[in-house]
Amino acid sequence: MKLEHLDFERPVRDRPGNGPVRACVAEAVRKHQAGWLRTNPAQETAALTRISSVTRH
């Protein structure tokens, strides 16, 4: 993926700071994650169980 005008939010440069880049990265991660979860149902169940247990506390 090639991104123009990539700015970072913090000095450690670990998070994209401008809106268009953040949206593009978020969409790419969502698509990849959804595909991975569909092909790995056991890990999907484990992840969802862990997420639901964390959000209850």
pLDDT of 11 over the 80 cut:
no
pLDDT digits 0-9 by tens, 33-55: 999 989 999 999 998 899 888 87
* DSSP secondary structure string for all residues of 23-44: HHHHHHHHHHHHHHHHH-HHHH
Rounded to an integer, the average pLDDT of 7-13 is 60
Do 4 and 31 contact (CB within 8 A), yes or no?
no
Mean pLDDT of the chain: 79
